[in-house]
Structures are given as C-alpha cells and as structure tokens.
Structure 1
Amino acid sequence: MTNLITVSTCNLNQWSLDFKGNKERIIQSILIAKRQGSKLRIGSELEVTGYGCLDHFYENDIITQSWEVLADILKDTRLYDIIIDIGMPLLFENCRYNCRVIIYNGMVMGIRPKKWLANDGNYREMRYFTPWLKPDSYTISYKLPKIIQVINSQDSTKMGNINIECLDTKIGFETCEELFTPQSPNIDLSLNGVEIICNSSGSHHELRKLDKRLDLIINATKRCGGIYLYGNQIGCDGDRLYYDGCALIVVNGEVVAQGSQFSLNEVEVITATVDLDEVRSYRSSIISRNLQAMHNENLFSSINVPIKLNDTEEQNKSYLKPTPKRKIRYHSPEEEIAMGPACWLWDYLRRCGSPSGFFIPLSGGIDSCATSMIVYSMCDLIYNAIKNGNKTVLHDLQKVAKIKTDDEWIPKSPEDIANKLFHTCYMGTSNSSIETRSRAKALAARIGAYHTDLNMDQGVSSIVSIFEVVTGKKPIYKVFGGSSTENLALQNIQARLRMVLAYMFAQLLPWYRNSWGGLLVLGSSNVDECLRGYLTKYDCSSADLNPIGAISKTDLKKFIAYCSKRYPNFEILNDFISAVPTAELEPILEGQYTQQDEADMGVTYDELSEFGYLRKVEKLGMYSMFIKLLHKWGKPSSDLHDNLDGCIVSQLEDLDKKKRSELEKSAKVTRGLTPREIADKVKHFHKFYAINRHKQTTLTPAYHAENYSTDDNRFDLRPILIDSKFEWASEKIDKLVDELEKVDKVINTLD
C-alpha cells in the first residue's frame, strides 16, 4: 500500500464572539493534527466567530475581526505544510456568505460559500446569510482585504463551487445542511473524481437524533466510495443549543474514527490514516457509478495546491498502516440526558462570569430531582476530567468556586464539587407533605449539595393579609368552601413566592458561606407541562436556565431509573420514581381530596407527549390529530369506518352476509378508547394549550433536547392569543363522532 494519507477533523468548543479563544482553539487543533502526521485538517462551521452569533452577524465588525483572526493564522509558520479548512463569514458585493476558507502555507487558496442554508427548526441562516446560487462551475475573483494582502502579497483568490486538486488526490466540500438536502453535493463531488469530501458543521443535539446524521454521512460514501471528514462544534456557545460534536472519518461506508458526542474537552482532534487505493478500487468496481461519472458534467472549478498528501518519508512508510474500521458508538437516551444538559450547564456556568454555582428549589418531586441529578452528572464529568489530567477544567472549576490562588484545592469526589457549586432548598408550606420534604433532604445529602429547608406560611399569610386589608375579603381554598378563583389565586401565591425566595437565596447563600458572586437559578418544568401550560407564570419554574425544559416526563423517569443504577448508593431515587406527581399547593385532607398532577391536567404525561409530537413534528391541526389518534387509540369501530369504503350508515343494512361476517370479526378485536373519549381528550388538550399559550413566551431558556420543544424564542413560533374553542374543527370532530357512534350501534345489532 503506497497511497496512505493521514487526515484530521475536529470537535471544537467555540463560543460566539470569542475571537481570541476561538483562534487559540483553532490553532491548537491544527498543531495537534500536524503532530499526528496529518496533511489535511478541517474544523467546525463558522469556527472563527462561533456558530450561534445570531443577529450579531449583521455587524460588520464580525467580518473585520474574522479576517484579523485569519491573518494571525496565515502568519503563523508553525501551521505550514498542511491544508487547513476554516469556517468564517465574509462579505462579497454587499452580500454576507457563510464560507469555508482554504489556506496553505500562508496563502488563501480558495473560498467555498455555502449553497444550501439551514432555515428551519432552530436555524435561521437565511436571516443572516445569502445562499451561493450562482452556476455551479462559476467562480469569481475575490479581492482579499488589505490585512491579508500585506502578509503574502496575494491580492485575490477564487470564490465559488471549488475543489482542491493536490498532486495525488482531489478534495471537495459540503457544509452541514447540504448533507441533508435531496441532491447533496457529495454525489456530484464523487462523480467528478473527488476522493476526500470535507463537511464542517454546526449541528445540535436532540435526543435520539445522532443515528440520522451518521446514517447520511455513512451512506454518502457507501453508495459511490470515498473518504468523508465530518467536523462539528461541541458545547454551548451561548444559547439554548448544545452542539454535540461526534466528528467522524468514514471510508467507503465504514467508520474508522469517531469523536466524542459529549465532552468537557475544548479541543478534540480525530485523525485517521486512510488508503486512497481502497477508494479507487471500491469505485472502479461499481459499473453503474462509473457510467454516471462518465456522463456527469464537471460542476466544479479546481484549484491546484502543490502538496502531495502521501509524502511520508520512505523510511517511515513501513510504520504507517490504515486505521481499522470501528463500531459506531451510540449513547442511550438516558445517557444523553445525563451528559448533554450537564455539559451545557458547565459551559454556561464557566463562561458567564461571576456566578459561583447553581441554586434549585428542590420540591421532592421527580422534575427537580432530575434537574439535580443532571447537576450531579456535571460534577461527575468535571471530577473525571480533572482525574484524567484536564488542567483547563480544574482551572475553570477553581475560578467558578472562588478558590483563592494560594489554595491548591483539588476535589476528591463529585460530591466535593457539588458542595462547592450546588445549593438546594426545600420551600415548604402547611400543604407540603413529610414525604416530599424528607426525599428532598435525602437527595441533597447524597449529591453533596448545600441544602436549606424552610416553611414560608408566614410569607403567604402576609401577602393574603395585604389583599384582605385592601378589600375586606379573604380568599379560602376550595376544599374549605372557596371558589375556583380563590383556590387558584392561593396556589399561585405560593408558587410565585418560591420564585422570589429562590432569587434571594441564590444571591445571598454564597455571601452566607463566606464566598462571593451569586448563583444561577435552575428551573425544573418539563416539556409536557410547558406544552399544556401546567405551571404558574413567573413561579419557581421561572429561572435563569432550565436543563429539562425540552425533555418529556416519560424520559425523565427513565433517566432517574438509569441514575439509580449508574451511580452507587442512590437508592433514594427509587422513592422519586414511585411517588405520585403532585404540586402540593392545596391543603391535604386525609381520606378526602389529594392533589395529583395528571388528575389536575385531565390528561396523562404519556398522552401529552403524544399530543406534542403530533402538533409539532407531524404538524397536525386539531381535526387531523383526532383522525390520527382515532386509528392509534381507538376501538375497532374506527378501523371499521375505514373498511366501509365510503358507505353511509343507512347502507349498512344492505351489506351481504360475507361483509357482515368480516365486520363482526373485526369488532371482536380488543377495544381501546371510544371516538368520543378520544375527541374529548383532543379538545381538552387544545383548549388548555390555547388558554395557556401566553405562558410559553416567558418560559425559562431551556436546553433543547426534544423535537417538539415549546421554546417560543425561535423553535416553536405560534400566536400568543388563540381561540380556545376551535369551533370549526370541533364541529367536524363532533359530526364524525356521531357518525361513528351510529356505525358502532349498527354493528352491535349484528352481534
């Protein structure tokens, strides 16, 4: 084998607008790639600026400072003798483009702008950038800024749909979203003889999403051969998204190198030695591919770079061998919940300045328990990183924990870290139970958090007294004869007072413990409750960050079960799993009423997850959702209706005996919900979704983890004011339910 080459890609923890830090991480990754023998290094999308700059991209300073960073990289002779692919924005003829700038030995070899922009879900690239829609083979001469010209006397470079032609191979490019398009550039690249395809991405994490991305990358080379390098950003770069890395090198559909999906490392370089002869043999054996390649038009402009990727010294070639293929590593959803939000929280905490940790109102319920376990997972990741010699993490931890410079404190356990960073408080009232209070205390003790416990009845009474003094009327709970209005107001007073207390404790607890800096308050409302509006506006779910705001109750229960097995001596978690969810905002009367979340909401958490998925992911309105659930949840009469082939009820009597026999057989299938029961649930959900829609505009910024997230900031854009009656759809549903009930009645007479 004489055509072995070594190539590298990266996971980079870039931060929006952190030009100095971003440059240092880029340079560090290039130096690591060189030490590993690479002749080609690619990074993440928009790695110079950070991917998530949002409306800061409108600022011309962004462009100017990007060129200044690139100038420093071009001047650094340590970075010579390797092709470098760098992501940054630039302006051409007053249009802003998301670009890949290819450099080699201090020269800008070419610029490849992004053709297809991500513009759905969390992405708004067309808000900031213009897609490169010029003819594929068309290139322009891009005049380089003065700061670049003075380095190497280079006035201009080619810009367009380019590829790089080395002395022994061809390199092509596609960027993030382009991989997901129906006509991905990698198809034409491979048919035009490009053997190495480079993809720089800014791809975020969602639960159970990674397999979709990896499937596209693997199949990009499985169909027509080639080497695929995928680089990605990793970490929180300042917003709700966590970019989950997983840099990849694939050869002919086989993974040979895979980076971390969740990591506290700021720079991770993935390197592999691959054989160009394997690509050529693989491709030449696919006759249909060869015929298509022969007839394919040349859509790319080639730029010659005088480098041979296979230029290993003769005496060292015997030490090189191709990197073997490896099994793809996937995390379970429970592991994703444990690590994704934990890494996101750590990046946010260490980068936001003065805060010295987190504070959470720990209620004794499963949601605040899950949030607390995510913080514990963060502490565990920090501890293991330090134990493995990560000095950057240790330095950041000591800075956040306000450790004095002359104190050589090194944590001895995750609990040791939690005691410095994590503060919890049980905010009880006379409505709180002994069970929730004891669960909260036991969990905080096991985690190692600094825990406080209080009763706030006096505060609640004081607020109620103010209203009584002003109006002369005193509200009472429903169980004592009060109205629903009084009952709701008294519950909301408790919830909102907890928010006020949370922020007071978050500001003062570090001072009380002889430290300084405030704490970031964590919320703990799950995506299903947010969707239903089962929370008080500006209550204790209102916080600085919410790690579980886009995670379902069902997944959170599975996560807690995972933690009970993953971490030793956390038996207390089993008590949280078995506890009935309750807000504990109303008086507990033994043998009478007990407040329970699912009873209050009128739907189960599993049903809410279903509604959320159908509403957002499948984009179903009220009527279409009813039809879908009729098939999924319904009794056989709904299936029966489909088998009638448009027959109206009056025609049923005329059916022949064979048809009647088929209907009778289907009617004996195990029954589920009736059409009316399904209709009632769908109407109930939409009513409360509409009534509470305004609450989603004030939700705490949450980690994006689920594809039916309710984040109103940019992911789920809906009106604030919605007619909760949905009269048109409701009437259609009622009409269909009546028809189905008549059908069911006729079938019953056939039995």
Structure 2
Amino acid sequence: MILAGAAINQTPLDWENNLSNIKTAIEQARAAKADILCLPEMSICGYGCEDMFLSDWLSVTCFKKLLEIKEWCHDIVVCVGLPVRLNSITYNTACVIRNGEILGFTAKQFLANDGVHYEPRWFSSWVPDTVQQFEMMGQTYAIGDIVYEYQGVRFAFEICEDAWRNNDRPGYRHMAKGVQLIINPSASHFAMSKTDVRYKLVMEASREFGCTYLYVNQLGNEAGKMIYDGEIIIAQNGNLVHRNELLSFKSVDCECAEVNILNPLPLVEVPVLPPVDENREFIAAVTLAMFDYLRKSRSRGFVLSLSGGADSSLCAVIVAEMVTRAVEEIGLEEFVRKTNCLTPEELAQFSLLSGKELRNALVSKLLITAYQGTINSSDNTYQSAAELAKSIGAVFYNWTIDEEVAGYRGKIEHVIARPLTWESDDVTLQNIQARVRAPGIWMLANLTNSLLLATSNRSEASVGYATMDGDTAGSISPIAGVDKAFIRQWLVWAQMELGYEGLQYVNNLQPSAELRPLEQTQTDEEDLMPYPLLNQIERLAFYDRLSPQQVFEQLKGTCPDAQLLQSVKRFYALWSRNQWKRERYAPAFHLDDYNVDPRSWLRFPILSGGFREEVEKLG
C-alpha cells in the first residue's frame, strides 16, 4: 500500500486558498498512485479559527466545502479535517472519503488545554468506543470512534492530542480491535527541540502497537502566532519508513512511501535522531513565519528602526535569511508571485542575478531601515546599523530626533515651570526619546504598505524593559518569543555559520538602550540584572511555576546570595507592575517551549498583590 501525507499551508477562513491546497495535495497523491492520503487537522477551515468554531455557519460552510472535496477523491482514500457541530456542540473530526463516498467522521477524544492551547473552549471530547448517526443536508453519516477497512487493512485515528495522552491514548483500544494502520492528522505547534519529542512519540507508538503509523502535521504560520513545521512521519514497528524536511516554504508538501502492512517490517528499537541544532531550527521557523505573515497580511515589505543593537540586527537578518531560504526552495518566480515584490520587468532583470547579489537585490525591495540617532547615540551603534544594512542590501536612512525631543521637553518644562533633569526625571527623559522615534518609522511603514517590525525580546517583556508606544511599536514582533541570551549567542553563530559578516559590529557591543548621556555608559544588564540570571528566574517562575522562595533556593550558589536576592526581588517587582505592557505588545511568534504572551501561553492579572508577601519572606 502506498501511503501519502500532505502538509499544507492553510489560513483560517480562506476557502479559496485552503481548497486549492487540498486539491493540489489530492492530485499529487493520485499521481503517485497513493492508496490513502492524510491531510492535517482542521485542514478545510484552518486550525486557528478560534471563537468562530462556536458559530453554526462555520461548520455548515465546512461541510459544503467537504462535499466539493469528495468529488476529487476518485481511486483514493482521503482523510480531511473539519469541525462538525451537532446540537450546538462542536467536534474536531477527520472525515474519511473513499472513491467520492463519505465513509464516516472520527471525532477527537482528547483536547489540548495547556500552554498555547484552549481547545475545550471550542470543542467537546468524544466518548471512546461510541459511534452515532447524524443527518446533514439530507444525508445520514456516522460519527465517533470508528474503525475503517480498505484493501483488507483495518485503520483508525489518533487526532493530534489523542497521541500525547500516554496510557489512555486511543492507540491501545485500536490495538485490541486489530487495527493495523493508525493515522494521525495534527496541528502540533512548533517549539524548538519539540520535533525530537514528537518523533519519539510516533515511532514508539508504531512499535508498541505493532502497527504502521502515518503522522501529518500542519505547515507554516497559519493564523499569525503559531508556526507548524509540516512534519510527516511514516513508521512501522519502530522502523522509520519516511520522514520529510521540516518547515518548508511550499504551499503543499506531499510525501509518499510504500509499506507492506500485511507483511510488516520486523519489530525494532526506535532509531535515535541526531541532536537538534536549535540555532538552525530557530531561523528556519522564524523565516517561514515572517514569509507567511508578509504574504497573508498582503503587505509589501518590512520597515525597521535599526538601532545597531542585537534585537534590531536580528530582525534585519531574519528578513535577509527569509529571502535566501524561500528563493532557494521555491524559486524566484514563485517567491515573487507570493510576495508581489517585483514588477514583470524587474523579475526579468532579477532572474539574471544569483547568490548574495540576488538576495541583496530582493532585500532592497522588502526591507527599509532607519537609524534614528540622538546626542546620546554612539558612533559604534551607527556603524553597526549602517554596515549591517549595507551588507544585506536593505534600504538605510539616517536621521536625528534631537529637535523633536527638545520640542516635547520644552513644552512640558513650560507647563510645569521647572527644567527636567536626569537626577529627578530619568525615566521621563529616557522614554521621550524612544517614543519620538515611533512616528517617523510608522510613516515609512504607512507610505509603503509595509509591516513595522517591533524588536522586543522575551527577557525585556518579562520585566517591562521597553517604552510603550516607542520601541514596542510595530505590526509584528518576530523575536518576542526568545530571550536575550539566546539572541546574543545566535548572532555570533550567524556571523560564523551563515556568513553574515555585517554582524561583527553588533557582536562587539554590550546591549544598551543608549537613552542616557553617553558619559553614564548605560547598559541593559546594569539597569536590570545579568540576562542569563534573568532568564533562569523567569523560567523557574513561570515554566516550572515555582514560588519566589523556591526560585531563590533553586538558584542558590549560581551567584552571591546578596546579588541573587536582589535580582529575584527585582524580577518579581518588575514582572508584576508590567503586565499591562505585555497585554499591549505586538503579535509575536511562539518559538520556544514557553512564552510570556498573555494572549497565547501565560495569563497573569494586570492588577495583583505583586508577590509582596512572598518576596518579603526572602529577607
């Protein structure tokens, strides 16, 4: 039997795009003479429809689209995902179509309800080992925990979260029913190193259940925040039959492999994958996310306030690497078609270019940068910004904002009848510089119908080390899901491994907001605490969910007790008072195994007791 999985890049409620990708996948699978094709979870409407799943009209529309899809399914079995809403209850289902006939709907039994997942808000769990009938548009269909049969092979489903439930997963019940093939359509979000866990989950299931296992994940930045790696795994009795390249820029990645289900491969120990390189994994994920966000938002490019510091430098490199990776995989013509960044005449000219020359030419069409200096800016950061922009081909503007800062400062000094000084008004004088930078860079974004990139990182978000309506301004915040320590080491890696020589300047600088007078030699870590320590406190507090006392005890010995005590107290104070900022950050990608975005991974009250009692007990 030839099994096929198709990772497809869907968009919520984009019926034309979604059905086009489904049709392409079916055509490619049929051309490969596949017997069974699996498409990802919720592939008709998109997994990220959120509260639209509670609307009656959505499931009705999906069902009408399903009736269109079934007419394409001749000489093949196709498994396609959609919501089915019965008596005001919505189920997450996989529909099985054989030769144009709907055989039934398998409903998901376990719903993801941790981290970034809120499935119980929209869906209800199906009771195991039950099947019922329902009527839709004049026809009666079966829905539930169904075992299907095709060409003498018994197959059934685990839908995404079903497979993550250890001893209670449906696979155990399938094994008792003689199921030989388990199919898993998923929308399993990306996180660095997660693919290793998922690989083991699928491979060990094929071994433990003595079956063939077909796993298919969603692909791309579907709805704005979550990224899907498009993983396809075909396994049998612990043997890896086929695994694809992840994080593809294709709209459809259809993969096929031949397996003998009736005379399977012998039972073996699961082969171990080589260690995951998180530096490579990060850039593969974030560039795909940026590419999809650009084209799905129908924007024409990116605008970036390039300060010469680590965060903005990383954002610039992401755009350049996005161009490199996308063109390398899908070709110049498809890249231009999807981004609409060149005229036909320009495409003809650009097609004569290659390598870095082509990359820089495309970046010049997609990325506008500006260095907005003040009297507190250093020559080093200007050089860092200018040289990086030049090295990747970005448009680079340079202007100062001292006049605007002086104007606002003068107005306020006039009405309060006193001068503002660094001794008494430090935060005010810092923040006005950051805020004054926003209007000009927004103007460039508006003029060019481009996305303004915010440069916040997770470490800064945790402690509110950002000026609202200043450096937080933006349409998308691509690096808000990773910490500052990771960013700094990644930039060094990118200079050495990816050849971004323009990063040599930023890699020699200490992170600084450059908002105080230069003679004060301001640095981020003096304002806050060492970034590695900040990240350790953050992870223990909100990933491991420890109390302040437990965090302090866990970190004892990593630095002097007095420094640790001060840092823990400062972290919790800053965290608590800055939740309102985290509520207002630009949308960000989920990249690590956790984040501090209250709209995805971590909710916290805007007003709280601020851990006062807990922190006081530390001494």
TM-score exceeds 0.5: yes
Partners of 1:225 and 1:279 within 8 A in 2: no
Counterparts of 1:679 and 1:407, CA distance in 2? 59
* Counterpart residue number, 1:32: 28
* Counterpart residue number, 1:507: 446
Amino acid at match of 2:615: S
After superposition, the Cα gap between the structure-2 partners of 1:281 and 1:581, relative to the gap in structure 1 and judged at 3 Å, is: closer
User: Greater shift after overlay, 604-613 or 39-48?
Assistant: 604-613
Partners of 1:42 and 1:84 within 8 A in 2: yes
Partners of 1:339 and 1:374 within 8 A in 2: no
Matched, 1:493 2:477: no
Partners of 2:196 and 2:276 within 8 A in 1: no
Partners of 1:255 and 1:328 within 8 A in 2: no
Amino acid at match of 1:607: L
Partners of 1:169 and 1:195 within 8 A in 2: yes
Task: Indicate which of 556, 567, 573 corresponds to 1:681.
Answer: 567
After superposition, the Cα gap between the structure-2 partners of 1:281 and 1:339, relative to the gap in structure 1 and judged at 3 Å, is: closer
Task: Indicate which of 74, 77, 82 corresponds to 1:83.
Answer: 77
User: Greater shift after overlay, 433-442 or 343-352?
Assistant: 343-352
- Measured after TM superposition, the shift of residue 498 of structure 1 is 1.0
Counterparts of 2:513 and 2:360, CA distance in 1? 29
Matched, 1:168 2:135: no
User: Greater shift after overlay, 15-24 or 271-280?
Assistant: 271-280
Task: Indicate which of 575, 580, 584 corresponds to 2:514.
Answer: 584
Alignment of 1:423-442 (within 5 A): 423-442=368-387
* TM-score, normalization by structure 2: 0.95
Q: Deviations over 1:229-260 (max 9, x none)?
A: 11111111122111111111111112221123
* Counterpart residue number, 1:651: none
Matched, 1:572 2:511: no
Matched, 1:536 2:438: no
Counterparts of 1:207 and 1:107, CA distance in 2? 40
Q: Deviations over 1:391-430 (max 9, x none)?
A: 5333123x2x252589645453111110000110001000
Counterparts of 1:64 and 1:157, CA distance in 2? 15
* Counterpart residue number, 2:542: 616
* Counterpart residue number, 2:48: 52
* Counterpart residue number, 2:313: 369
Partners of 2:238 and 2:267 within 8 A in 1: no
* Counterpart residue number, 1:358: 302
Counterparts of 1:145 and 1:329, CA distance in 2? 51
Counterparts of 1:201 and 1:386, CA distance in 2? 24
* Counterpart residue number, 2:606: 720
Partners of 2:108 and 2:158 within 8 A in 1: yes
- Measured after TM superposition, the shift of residue 691 of structure 1 is 2.0
Identity of aligned residues (%): 28
* Counterpart residue number, 1:458: 403
Alignment of 1:597-616 (within 5 A): 597-601=524-528, 603-616=529-542
After superposition, the Cα gap between the structure-2 partners of 1:145 and 1:190, relative to the gap in structure 1 and judged at 3 Å, is: same
Residue aligned with 2:505, SS: helix
Q: Deviations over 1:255-292 (max 9, x none)?
A: 22112321110100111111224438649xx9xxxxxx
Partners of 2:237 and 2:265 within 8 A in 1: no
Amino acid at match of 1:349: L
Q: Deviations over 1:284-320 (max 9, x none)?
A: xx9xxxxxxxxxxxxxxxxxxxxxxxxxxxxxxxxxx
Partners of 2:56 and 2:88 within 8 A in 1: no
Counterparts of 1:573 and 1:696, CA distance in 2? 29
Q: Deviations over 1:683-718 (max 9, x none)?
A: 121111112222111111111112331101131110
Matched, 1:694 2:580: yes
Q: Deviations over 1:577-619 (max 9, x none)?
A: 2211110001112xxx210100011x11101111121122111
Residue aligned with 1:425, SS: strand
Q: Which has the larger radius of gyration?
A: 1
* Gaps in structure 2 of 5+ consecutive residues: none
- Measured after TM superposition, the shift of residue 84 of structure 1 is 0.8
Amino acid at match of 1:594: T
After superposition, the Cα gap between the structure-2 partners of 1:264 and 1:237, relative to the gap in structure 1 and judged at 3 Å, is: same
Matched, 1:595 2:480: no
- Measured after TM superposition, the shift of residue 27 of structure 1 is 1.3
Amino acid at match of 2:317: M
Alignment of 1:64-79 (within 5 A): 64-76=60-72, 79=73
User: Greater shift after overlay, 465-474 or 614-623?
Assistant: 465-474
Task: Indicate which of 475, 479, 504 corresponds to 1:548.
Answer: 479
Counterparts of 2:347 and 2:38, CA distance in 1? 40
* Gaps in structure 1 of 5+ consecutive residues: 147-154, 287-324, 511-517, 635-671, 735-751
* Counterpart residue number, 1:97: 91
- Measured after TM superposition, the shift of residue 92 of structure 1 is 1.7
Counterparts of 2:583 and 2:346, CA distance in 1? 46
Amino acid at match of 1:698: R
- Measured after TM superposition, the shift of residue 679 of structure 1 is 2.6
Amino acid at match of 1:371: C
Counterparts of 1:506 and 1:19, CA distance in 2? 29
- Give the CA RMSD over aligned residues: 2.0
Counterparts of 2:385 and 2:265, CA distance in 1? 62
* Counterpart residue number, 2:188: 203
After superposition, the Cα gap between the structure-2 partners of 1:275 and 1:351, relative to the gap in structure 1 and judged at 3 Å, is: same
- Measured after TM superposition, the shift of residue 575 of structure 1 is 2.4
Partners of 2:239 and 2:265 within 8 A in 1: no
* Counterpart residue number, 1:729: 614
* Counterpart residue number, 2:141: 157
* Counterpart residue number, 2:392: 447
Partners of 2:203 and 2:235 within 8 A in 1: yes
Matched, 1:271 2:256: yes
After superposition, the Cα gap between the structure-2 partners of 1:17 and 1:278, relative to the gap in structure 1 and judged at 3 Å, is: same
Matched, 1:393 2:335: yes
Partners of 2:389 and 2:395 within 8 A in 1: yes
Residue aligned with 1:541, SS: coil
- Measured after TM superposition, the shift of residue 184 of structure 1 is 1.4
Counterparts of 1:18 and 1:560, CA distance in 2? 36
After superposition, the Cα gap between the structure-2 partners of 1:333 and 1:407, relative to the gap in structure 1 and judged at 3 Å, is: closer
After superposition, the Cα gap between the structure-2 partners of 1:9 and 1:553, relative to the gap in structure 1 and judged at 3 Å, is: same
Residue aligned with 1:374, SS: helix
* Counterpart residue number, 1:122: 116
Partners of 1:358 and 1:522 within 8 A in 2: yes
Q: Deviations over 1:520-557 (max 9, x none)?
A: 10011110111111111221222110110011112112
Alignment of 1:195-274 (within 5 A): 195-274=180-259
After superposition, the Cα gap between the structure-2 partners of 1:727 and 1:470, relative to the gap in structure 1 and judged at 3 Å, is: closer
Counterparts of 1:451 and 1:730, CA distance in 2? 47
Residue aligned with 1:708, SS: coil
Task: Indicate which of 161, 174, 177 corresponds to 1:177.
Answer: 161
Task: Indicate which of 132, 138, 141 corresponds to 1:140.
Answer: 132
- Measured after TM superposition, the shift of residue 25 of structure 1 is 0.7
Matched, 1:341 2:270: no
Counterparts of 1:137 and 1:184, CA distance in 2? 12
Q: Deviations over 1:439-480 (max 9, x none)?
A: 100000001000100111011101111112322222122xxx
Partners of 2:302 and 2:368 within 8 A in 1: yes
- Measured after TM superposition, the shift of residue 36 of structure 1 is 1.2
Residue aligned with 1:733, SS: coil
Counterparts of 1:709 and 1:158, CA distance in 2? 40
Partners of 1:180 and 1:216 within 8 A in 2: yes
Counterparts of 2:283 and 2:267, CA distance in 1? 40
Task: Indicate which of 557, 572, 582 corresponds to 2:488.
Answer: 557
User: Greater shift after overlay, 419-428 or 86-95?
Assistant: 86-95
* Counterpart residue number, 2:359: 414
Task: Indicate which of 383, 394, 398 corresponds to 2:327.
Answer: 383
